[in-house]
Chain A
Amino acid sequence: MIVRHVIPLLLFTLLLPSSAAAEGRLGWYPESISLSGQDATQGLLVERIDARGHGQDLTHVATYRSLDETVCSVDQNGIVTATGNGTTIIEATVDDSVIQVPIHVANTALPPKRHFQTDVVPILTRYACNSSGCHGKAEGQNGFKLSVFGFDPIADYAALVQEGRGRRVVIAAPDRSLLLTKASGVTAHGGGVRLEPDMHAYQAVRDWIATGAKFDTDYPEVERIELYPRERILDFGSTQQVRLMAHFDDGTHRDVTPLARFHSNNEALATVNDEGFIQVGSAPGHVAIMASFLEKMETLQILIPNPPQPDLATNTHSSQPIEPKNFIDEHIDRRLGQLNLLPSDQCDDATYLRRVHLDIIGTLPTPAEARKFLDDPSENKRALLVDELLERPEYATYWSLKWSDTLRVDRGILGHKAAYAYYRWIRESFENNRPLNEFAADIIAANGAVKNAPQANFYKAVTESGERSAVLSQVFLGLRLECAECHHHPFDRISQTDYHGMRAFFETVSLKPTARGEMMMSEGDAKVKHPRSGNDILARPLYGAPTASEEPRRELATWMTSTSNPWFSKNISNRIWAHFMGRGLVDPVDDFRATNPPSNPELLDGLSQSFAKSGFDAKTLIREIVASNAYQRSTTPNANNERDEQNYSRALFRRLDAEVLLDAICQVTGVPEKFEANPLGIRAIELWDSGSRHYFLKLFGRPLRKTACECERNVDASVAQVLHVLNSSELQNKLSHPNGQLAQWANDHRDNTQLVDELYLAFYGRRPTDQEVNNAVNYLENGADRKTAVEDLGWSLLNSYEFLFNR
């Protein structure tokens, strides 16, 4: 399907508040236009910044007029097209305001000069001919293969001009070229009609063929691209056109908006179409729109504030603004102010108690712990509780579980003994609160006898050099290198050379059995061959110089984990932040790239600097996070922030991890789970082998540890999960177990009020309200059988959202 620059004017006039037109002055981009060559085009952008600093794009509202049609014409979307040499003016009118844009046109007598690399390849990309779903697939499509995103113009040229028995490109009769007849649907084409003969792109390809379908080695290369605008504050429901200019190394430039690719990093907030036209939704937040042309990319950052609300100051949903607890709140409060967002109230003690238990140690508080905390009158009891939790053994258990997932503690591959040794090493690191830079460096530079360095088992679980480098980069730097194995990363500046430069560090790894046990050694040179050119690529840190070190992996470890590494501290602090807040500042947490910027860059910088300054001490970072107002907010939305799930204006509901949920169920019912090949009493968060079979854990999304992606741990819901908690005999047996906790409490507390108190403290970590006591006591007293009624009550508590979620 072909989308044109046809945008109904009516839509725009409706969207713009009429009063806004009175404010601000019209602005435009580019300031002046110089066009070179027949049919050269340039899009204008007309806008106004209103008194609040909010952008109003008027590009498709303005009316345009060329003062000299023999020099250039202009259409109603502001697209200026050269017609003859000379200078003139384009007038754009909005209401009573008129702007004048100087136009200079030259070289229209010269036939257009099209280059394969900069004119044809971008068209193949823009119209998705070379996409991975079509001819860009590894095996091509119907015998015609292009490189995905056009990363290999030499091969693409060969495919078009040399292969296909000369039918794909026919220089003598360009319109008979299969490339054009297929793309325009004249010849049957599985991919449908992509280009029509009256389109610029069609003409450009046709011109290239007609002038000999050459592959020039000397052509103007793209030096940089310029996106306009780069930052905007936009209202709900507003729209924004962008323009993308390419600057070439011969000093020329041209509008490449029609050939660019656009991408929104948060489609819930704003979408962008193929024409670079952005539609803002109706939720507040920060969104980045990426524009790319060939291998260059730029980003427009948009802030979308809540609409102004007259009653903001007297909002009854929220208490008075509270003082920031630390730098975290300063950064968040500033962002909330920009977005007109009012934070929810602070949560109560019981909610905090349960939340920090689940977040720090993956374990529910017991009724006794809950009573002690709730009845403690001390001012600083929340901080004291956190200190206590950070010293509990479950802290190391829970966090080593999380790290064992992405670091591939995989018994199926490693075998029991090695997997356990590897796990123990991770666990001891958390027991001793080792600085996370040392932890990471020990894995990256592992060497020597495996029995002394069990982290070397990582290299047995992940055996290929490319995958090793990709996994370690993803886990420790939050970068997804693997896209660049076969082609330039489509959303980042990572090239194939960058990928293979990182991969080369792991080419020398060798694991050998020796008389002293298995040894991890380095052998050979840290270099690999470029898969296309065949040239040697020496090991080099991402975007850095080739290493000259005798111990390349040691150098890599130092580079990756240093305070000056651009990603390490940010990535780790973002991961920990996301664990506590339910959403990373960079989201997903392992997708750091220029085109997926953090939603609050100052906060990420703050966290990262503080983390580095503490010597990469996870506990210090955790203390800062859980002390912030941001962490301590209630989940209850107010009328103002109910659409915000991005900016930490309220706490989010997070489903418990499979292991944590199962342990919680075992704890409240007092009936432990017996896991295959483990002694009774081992908790699910203590299971170091994610391969041990268990229906509940599988159903609730325990990862198989087959990838480095945090997303492998699945916290999505399913009908089967809901049914299992509602109906399964496993859980029912825990509720009705004669020696279980419910039976015991029913026996200990003959007084129903006390019993209900106990149950609420156990399941929810809070005391019941009077209403809740009444309801429950009523149920217990009107049921025929007290045991049955207690089970029913336990069943209801277990199935409630308050239990199933961390909130």
Chain B
Amino acid sequence: MKNSNRFCDGINRRSFLRVGAAGAFGASWSLSQLHQSAAAAAAATDRSLIIIFLQGGLSTIDTFDMKPNAPAEIRGEFDPISTNVPGTQVCHLLPKVSQEMDKFSLLRSMTVGSSDHSKADHHLLTGYRVSAAFKGGNRPNNEHPCMGSVISRKLGPRGSIPAYVTLPDMHKSAGAAYLGPGAAPLTIQADPNDPNFSVRDIVPSLDLDASRLENRAGLLNQVDRYQTAAEVQANRTLRSVDAFRERAFSLMTSPAAKRAFNIHAESDATRDMYGRNTLGQSCLMARRLVEAGVRCVFANHVDWDTHLKNFHSLKVDLLPPLDMAMSALYRDMHERGLLESTIVMVTGEFGRTPRINNEAGRDHWGPAFTVMIGGGGIHGGRIIGSTDEHAAKPADRPLTPEDLAATIHHQLGINGHDEFLTPEGRPIKIVNEGRIISELL
């Protein structure tokens, strides 16, 4: 890991390692699952994924697929501006993003199977349409695993760093479904923009100094008579807890994890560049986590459901932070050399109706919208597909969430034809008939 010389919270890592070497934290990796994932990780293309999810549905007709020549009741209030990719325009409220256009591409003909929030969320995030029995209110509501859970199961964690992290909380469709709790995300459950932001349970709650934590660890080693007993190897349940305990200690004492979760270590200039708001700091956190080794970061941002006062909300509340956060993320990832190995996707679950409603808002629109995606071997600056004159339907090259999932998994080195077995023994493919969007590669 990079920069392992810095360890700024007072806990002495070496002391943990010393105790660890004496056998404090139990048996070595014993879960075959962990072995498999480690092996898979070594074999795969070593890429990561960041999902910036604009929950509620970004109005892409007002931002990334503008129709300046449409009638007023469709065109909307905003104007397009040029970008650093000749011929491609975006909304004038995204001036910073316009200068990073060469780093991501636009999938302008995306179609999702429903214009209902939770069904569209599920379709977009899993690559599977929901069944008739779908219960959108469940938390999580996954009938199929979110892409992050697939990545977690197929590629496993990089060392002590969790494979799949969601922040600030967990989106309802970010779950593991039949892949089970081992593939569920670690959820930060705190707002990185909060001045007192810290990650739940990763560090001891009280001001334990290094020696006290070491004392406790040593004491646990003495007290826990089953930790080194034959029982651990002979009981499957105990073996798994033992493996997780080792991972927990390794996470607690990992400088990389600690550094990643400590957003306060970031310079003010950088924090300002991303924007001092939940979206901005979530994007910054996503970069830190990927840098530390997380394979999939899912940053969820709410409030994009602009049924009322669409233009006012976008102009005042939503687009300025998005402009800062999104441009900062692509640029920062690029400058750090992380973009080559990380797919960064920015999307809502659908777009918004071409026709402006009576409340100056736009409603849900699944038939056509734009997904922004770049990095991780995906070309920037390209436009795939197009919509008709009112951005109502794909005009050519209609794309689906299945295609998106096929492309992302392919870029991460996951074979979409592989199958998972549900607890009922039903085999289900990772990718449901999607085709890789070859124009992106």
A contact set with B: CB distance below 8 Å: 131-133, 141-142, 190, 192, 480, 483, 490-491, 635-637, 642-643, 645, 650, 652-655, 701, 704, 706, 709, 711, 714-724, 726-729, 732-733, 736, 772, 775-776, 779, 783, 788, 792-793, 795-797, 799-802, 804-805, 807
Q: Which 3 A-B residue pairings sit nearest by Cβ, starting from the closest?
A: A729-B205, A800-B224, A722-B248
Q: B-side interface residues toward A, CB under 8 Å?
A: 135, 138, 162, 180-182, 184, 186-187, 200-206, 212, 215-216, 219-220, 222-227, 229-238, 240-242, 244-245, 247-249, 251-252, 417, 419, 423-429, 433
> Judging by beta carbons under 8 Å apart, are A720 and B219 in contact?
no
Q: How far is the CA of A460 from the CA of B194 in the complex (A)?
A: 43
Q: How far is the CA of A796 from the CA of B225 in the complex (A)?
A: 11
Note all chain A residues with C-beta closer than 8 A to B237.
652-655, 715, 717, 805
A792→B212 contact, CB < 8 A: yes
> B231 and A636: CB pair below 8 A?
yes
A-B contacts, 18 listed (Cβ < 8 Å): A635-B231, A636-B230, A642-B230, A642-B233, A653-B226, A654-B237, A655-B241, A717-B237, A722-B241, A722-B244, A722-B248, A727-B204, A772-B223, A788-B212, A792-B215, A796-B220, A800-B227, A801-B241
Whole-angstrom distance between the Cβ of A149 and the nearest chain B Cβ:
11
Closest to A644 in B: B234
B428 engages A732 (CB within 8 Å): no
User: Which residues on A sit within 8 Å (CB–CB) of B162?
Assistant: 719
Chain B's closest residue to A799 (CB) is: B220
Residues of B within 8 A of A728 (CB): 200-201, 205
Which residues of B have CB within 8 Å of A805? 226, 237-238
Look across to chain A and name the residue whose beta carbon is closest to the beta carbon of B250.
Answer: A719
- Given A131-B427, A636-B229, A726-B248: A717 touches B241 (CB 8 Å cut-off): yes
**In the assembled complex, how far is the CB of residue A231 from the closest CB belonging to chain B, in whole angstroms?**
24
Asked if B227 and A732 make an inter-chain contact with CB atoms under 8 angstroms apart, the answer reads no
Which of A132, A723, A795 has the most CB atoms of chain B within a 10 A radius of its CB?
A723
Q: Are B201 and A716 in contact (CB-based, < 8 A)?
A: no
Q: B203 contacts which of A701, A714, A727 (Cβ < 8 Å)?
A: A727
Q: Establish whether residues A723 and B427, one from each chain, have CB atoms under 8 Å apart when the complex forms.
A: no
Give the residue of B215, B244, B424, B426 whose beta carbon is less than 8 angstroms from that of A719. B244
Q: Is the CB of B203 within 8 A of A722?
A: no
Cross-chain contact A800 with B180 (CB below 8 angstroms): no
Known: A653-B231, A655-B241, A805-B226. 9 other contacts (CB 8 A): A133-B426, A635-B231, A720-B187, A722-B241, A722-B244, A772-B223, A792-B215, A801-B232, A801-B242
Most buried by B among A133, A652, A701: A133
Complex: A491 Cα to B227 Cα, angstroms? 40
Complex: A637 Cα to B229 Cα, angstroms: 10
Residue of A142, A714, A717, A772 most packed against chain B (CB within 10 A): A717
Q: Is the CB of A711 within 8 A of B423?
A: yes
Q: Point out the residues of chain A lying under 8 angstroms from B216, CB to CB.
A: 792, 795-796
- Report the minimal beta-carbon distance from A289 to chain B, rounded to whole angstroms: 15
CA distance A642 to B233 in the complex (A): 8
* Inter-chain contacts of A190 with B (CB < 8 A): 417, 433
For residue A732, which residues in chain B have a CB less than 8 angstroms away from its CB?
204-206
Chain B positions within 8 Å of A653 at CB level: 226, 231, 235, 237-238
| A-chain residues with CB within 8 Å of residue B222 when the two chains form the complex | 775, 796
Q: Is B240 a contact partner of A801 (Cβ separation < 8 A)?
A: no
Which chain B residues lie closer than 8 Å to A736 at the CB level? 206
A709–B423 CA distance with the chains assembled, in angstroms:
11
Inter-subunit contact A642/B220 (CB<8 Å): no
In the complex, what's the smallest C-beta–C-beta distance from A380 to chain B, in angstroms?
A: 29
Cα A800 to Cα B424 with chains together (Å): 34
Residues from chain B with Cβ under 8 Å of A714 in the complex: 181
Find chain B residues with CB under 8 A from A801 CB: 224, 226-227, 231-232, 238, 241-242
- In the docked arrangement, what's the CA distance between A701 and B427, Å? 25
> How far apart are the CA atoms of A31 and B183 in the complex, in Å?
51
Across-interface contacts of B248 in A (CB, < 8 A): 719, 722-723, 726
Taking A721-B244, A796-B223, A800-B223 as contacts, is the C-beta distance between A652 and B235 under 8 angstroms?
yes
- B433 touching A142, Cβ below 8 Å: yes
Most B Cβ at <10 Å: residue of A132, A715, A732: A132
- A797-B223 in contact given A723-B251, A728-B201 (Cβ < 8 Å): yes
Give B248's nearest chain A residue, CB to CB: A722
> A721 — which chain B residues lie within 8 A by C-beta?
244
Distance from B10 Cβ to chain A, minimum over Cβ atoms (Å): 15
Cβ-neighbour of A726 out of B223, B231, B252 (below 8 A): B252
Q: A131-B427, A642-B233, A779-B219 are in contact. Are A718 and B244 (CB under 8 A)?
A: yes
- Which residues of B have CB within 8 Å of A797? 223
Q: Which residue of A lies closest to B235 (CB)?
A: A653
Q: How far is the CA of A719 from the CA of B426 in the complex (A)?
A: 28
- B223 contacts which chain A residues (CB < 8 A)? 772, 775-776, 793, 796-797, 800
Q: How far is the CB of B75 from chain A (nearest CB, A)?
A: 37
Most buried by B among A142, A716, A720, A807: A720
Q: How far is the CB of A710 from chain B (nearest CB, A)?
A: 11
Q: Are B205 and A720 touching (Cβ within 8 A)?
A: no
- Would you call A796 and B186 a contact (CB within 8 A)? no
Please report the C-alpha to C-alpha distance between residue A480 and residue B201 in the assembled complex, in whole angstroms. 40
How far, in angstroms, from A772 to B221 measured CA to CA in the complex?
A: 12
Contact across chains for B224 and A718 when beta carbons are under 8 A apart = no
Which residues of B sit under 8 angstroms from A729, Cβ to Cβ?
A: 205-206
User: A719: which B residues are within 8 A, CB to CB?
Assistant: 162, 186, 244, 247-248, 251
Tell me whether B219 and A804 are in contact (CB under 8 A): no
A645, B236: Cα distance in complex, Å: 8
Which chain B residues border A132 with CB–CB below 8 Å?
Answer: 426-428
Q: Given known contacts A645-B236, A800-B226, is B201 in contact with A723 (CB within 8 Å)?
A: yes
Please, which residue of chain B has its CB at the minimum distance from the CB of A645?
A: B236
Complex CA distance for A652 and B239, rounded to whole angstroms: 12
B257 vs chain A, min Cβ distance (A)? 11
Residues of B within 8 Å of A706, CB to CB, are: 135, 138
A716 contacts which of B181, B205, B426 (Cβ < 8 Å)? B181
Alpha-carbon gap, A802 to B242, bound state (A): 12
Known: A133-B428, A801-B224. A635 touches B241 (CB 8 A): no
Tell me the complex Cα distance, A384–B224, Å.
31
Complex-state Cα separation, A518 to B93, whole angstroms: 58
| Chain A residues whose CB sits within 8 angstroms of the CB of B427 once the complex forms | 131-133
Task: Output the nearest chain A residue to B204 by Cβ-Cβ distance.
Answer: A727
A483 contacts which chain B residues (CB < 8 A)? 424
Contact status A720-B424, CB under 8 Å: no
- Nearest residue, chain B, Cβ from A779: B219
Chain A proximity of B122: nearest CB distance (Å): 16
Least Cβ–Cβ distance between A696 and chain B, in angstroms: 11
Contact of A796 among B224, B247, B426 (CB under 8 A): B224
Task: Report A705 CB to chain B, min CB distance, Å.
Answer: 11
When chains A and B are docked, how far (Å) is the Cα of A261 from the Cα of B227? 43
CB distance from B125 to the nearest CB of A (A): 20
Tell me, rounded to whole Å, the shortest Cβ–Cβ distance linking B151 to chain A: 16
A348 to chain B, nearest CB (A): 14
Residue in B162, B203, B433 whose Cβ sees the most chain A Cβ within 10 Å = B433
In the docked arrangement, what's the CA distance between A637 and B235, Å? 10
Give complex CA distance A502, B187 in Å.
43
**Chain A residues near B226 (CB-CB < 8 A):** 653, 800-802, 805, 807
A597–B206 Cα distance when bound, in Å, is 52
Residues of B within 8 A of A722 (CB): 241, 244-245, 247-248
| Contact (Cβ within 8 A) A793 B201 | no
Say which residue of B187, B205, B231 sits within 8 Å of A637 (CB atoms): B231
Kindly state the separation between the CA atoms of A101 and B237 in the bound complex, as whole angstroms.
Answer: 50
Are B244 and A133 in contact (CB-based, < 8 A)? no
Give the distance to chain A from B309, nearest Cβ to Cβ, in Å.
32
Query: Which of B220, B223, B242 has the most chain A CB within a 10 Å cutoff?
Result: B223
Minimum C-beta distance from B143 to chain A (A): 12
Instruction: Report the Cα distance A52→B231, complex, angstroms.
Output: 32
Give bound CA distance, A722 to B227, whole Å: 14
Complexed CA–CA distance, A413 and B212 (Å): 48
Shortest distance from the beta carbon of A343 to any chain B beta carbon, whole Å: 13
